[in-house]
Structure 1
């Protein structure tokens, strides 16, 4: 079954760091494809609440590069649902930190197949998107290399994800170079397990002359059960700086 109105959007936002680039200083194509596949998997799993594997991806053309230090934003949404498979349309945009200029780098369709489904069972039909609630959300998968020796998300990796969300939110607000100045408070209340989705919901809580306080809620989502819980909250102080790392006015 397909629909003219695609399903709800799943959004993954990241930063192009040196380890993600090729010898040209732009996002390595394999990293971009990995991000796209991850978004397609999450979108499929949120719909079917069963395990999925990637079966194929339709032609993907890289029309523009994502450069070192830029934000990359990937959006995925289902455009077709069959008995045991779904198709997710994924787009990857790059965003310049200081100007906000965005460019479409690539798009493609990923076909995902449900595995371990009971005989005779079919996937639920595609539901049209109910609209955007205006809340900025970032998702990320929790893979084995991110776990502690307890088998749950390592606290340092959770802090890194929250810090990245704070940086992106502050940069988009100020459109100036941003550094982290302090963490006001971070509390973790529940563990996040392997294979769960980590969802970060950042927002600008307060602004000063050169600083911004970014509040972040950290949620977990069990993709098979569909259950969600608030696992942590934090407050980060981010400061706009010049080329000499001195604070500068946000609106100056």
Structure 2
């Protein structure tokens, strides 16, 4: 299969944090952020594979700073590396203090997606072609993250 540039999978989604998205402290529910991460990762993986995908794993998510009601949350993702049927997707979550306010990183994660055929079984995906320095660094370090994921998976069985 011909490699697909990482930029082809790049997905960006922005949302304003509304009252139903927040807890009793006025900050966004962590589960809401996880839902955004899963959704944007799936779109990036589908753009790469050109087919449906399912979530295989979400690496630890580090919440770096609170997101408050009225803030704008932007979730950006792209495919960093591929296996035979799986894709590692990098996710960065940024927070903007109100529209036009100061921007800062609020969370980072890696999600593994698997491409599936009409029968629901895994299917092969094309390799990814990193272009930017960040994409190349994430590509270079992906095999170690995969090794850790597999190790974690087998320990929990």
Q: Same fold (TM over 0.5)?
A: yes
Match of 1:170 in 2: none
What are the Cα deviations for residues 36-74 of structure 1, in whole angstroms up to 9, with x where unaligned? 110000000001011111011111111101110010001
Match of 2:124 in 1: 122
Structure 1 gap segments, 5+ residues each: 131-252
How far 1:7 sits from its partner (Å)?
3.8
Bigger relative contact order, structure 1 or 2, given CA contacts below 8 A and separation 6+?
2
TM-score by length of 1: 0.46
TM-score by length of 2: 0.73
Q: Which structure has the highest helix share of the two?
A: 2
In 2: Cα distance, 1:6 partner to 1:62 partner? 25
In 2: Cα distance, 1:112 partner to 1:31 partner? 19
Structure 2 gap segments, 5+ residues each: 133-157
In 2: Cα distance, 1:120 partner to 1:92 partner? 28
Q: Secondary structure at the match of 1:88?
A: strand
Equivalent pairs, count = 127
C-alpha distance 84-65 of structure 1, shift in aligned 2 (>3 A) = same
Q: Which structure has the highest strand share of the two?
A: 1
Q: Secondary structure at the match of 1:79?
A: strand
C-alpha distance 121-68 of structure 1, shift in aligned 2 (>3 A) = closer
Larger radius of gyration: 1
C-alpha distance 117-71 of structure 1, shift in aligned 2 (>3 A) = same
Q: Structure 1 residue 50 and structure 2 residue 67: aligned?
A: no
Q: Confirm or deny: 8 A CA contact 1:81 1:126 kept in the other structure.
A: yes
Q: Secondary structure at the match of 2:54?
A: strand
Match of 2:143 in 1: none
Q: Secondary structure at the match of 1:44?
A: helix
Cα-Cα RMSD: 2.4
